[in-house]
Amino acid sequence: MAKVIDLEGQKYGILTVVKGLGRGKKEYEWLCKCECGNETISKTSYLRSGHKTSCGCLRGRSNYKHGLSQSPLRNVHANMKKRCNNPKNKSFKNYGGRGITYCEKWETFEGFLDDMLDDYKKGLTLDRIDVNGNYNKENCRWVDKKTQANNTTANRHITYKGETLTVSQTADKYGIDYELFRHRLKKGLAIDEALKPISAVESVTYNGETKTVAEWARLRGMTYYQLKKRLMRGWDIDRALTQPLRKRDK
């Protein structure tokens, strides 16, 4: 007879193994306590394989709301685990590589769903409130993509006129294109200069000669708006003036 593996005290999804009940018809069975308060009996193989992770309360609720086999939340959960566990994942260096992991309950999709399903709405993304903290119910929320972008470690904060905001938030507040603002800061411009809008009267220096954007555009055989668009996309002045126009730019 095979030796019984002691599962007492182990957690599987939202089930905690309370005690062994002895061998059933085919294998050892366990009494489990579900986080919803119910008790259920499960075989060893069902628990260890992940086949059973709740008393059944999750399955009924989540299948009704989302159809779990095709729910986008499955991808959210799977991608979270990859970022934390897989060194080959492109985002691993910013998550698992920094020691970011997830709570034991979220090892299974059902456990993740139990904590996060109620607040989920289509189009929202999973966000950690503390970007240096782990994935768990207390540190996670559903937000839109812009809110999440403002909460990443890669998003630099700057202080201007006594107010500290992210680069994206500052660009929004002062009405300037984010990519242009970011590019100017990267080039070393002071915040005051970086926030200046590109206009027809803004002076641009090229090869030691200073002219307005409109004047440079006329000299190069393009419209003011064609040149302005290039500059707003973060192009340096040399590239903006010398790269030939493509058909879709004309």
Mean pLDDT of 32-59: 85
Whether the pLDDT of residue 205 is over 80: the answer is yes
pLDDT for the residue numbered 155: 59
pLDDT for the residue numbered 69: 45
- 156 closest CA partner among 142, 169, 139: 169
Q: 239 or 4: whose pLDDT is higher?
A: 239
114 and 179 fall within a common domain: no
Is residue 98 situated within a structural domain? yes
Is residue 60 situated within a structural domain? no
Query: What would you measure as the largest C-alpha separation in the chain, in angstroms?
Result: 91
Is residue 224 situated within a structural domain? yes
Give the highest mean pLDDT range of 56-65, 105-114, 178-187. Answer: 105-114
Is residue 2 situated within a structural domain? no
pLDDT for the residue numbered 203: 76
User: In sequence order, what are the residues at sequence separation of 6 or more whose Cβ sits closer than 8 angstroms to the Cβ of residue 97?
Assistant: 87
87 and 130 fall within a common domain: yes
70 and 141 fall within a common domain: yes
Is residue 30 situated within a structural domain? yes
User: In sequence order, what are the residues at sequence separation of 6 or more whose Cβ sits closer than 8 angstroms to the Cβ of residue 176?
Assistant: 195, 196, 197
Beta bridge pairs of residue 123: none
Query: Amino acid letter at 5?
Result: I
70 and 144 fall within a common domain: yes
138 and 74 fall within a common domain: yes
pTM: 0.42
**Domain end position, chosen among 114, 133, 149:** 149
Mean pLDDT of 48-68: 66
Is residue 3 situated within a structural domain? no
> 234: alpha, beta or left, given left = phi > 0 and alpha = psi -120 to 50?
left
d(CA 150, CA 170): 11
Lookup result for tokens 């289509």: 122
Lookup result for tokens 């603002």: 181
Total domains in the chain come to 4
Which range marks the domain in which residue 178 is found?
A: 157-194
Is residue 235 situated within a structural domain? yes
Tens-place pLDDT, residues 61-86: 544 444 444 467 888 999 999 999 99
Is residue 5 situated within a structural domain? no
pLDDT for the residue numbered 178: 75
d(CA 81, CA 28): 31
186 and 233 fall within a common domain: no
d(CA 235, CA 218): 18
95 and 145 fall within a common domain: yes
Q: 51 or 29: whose pLDDT is higher?
A: 29
Q: SS3 of 237, please?
A: helix
pLDDT for the residue numbered 249: 53
Q: What is the dihedral of CA 210, 211, 212, 218, to 10 degrees?
A: -150
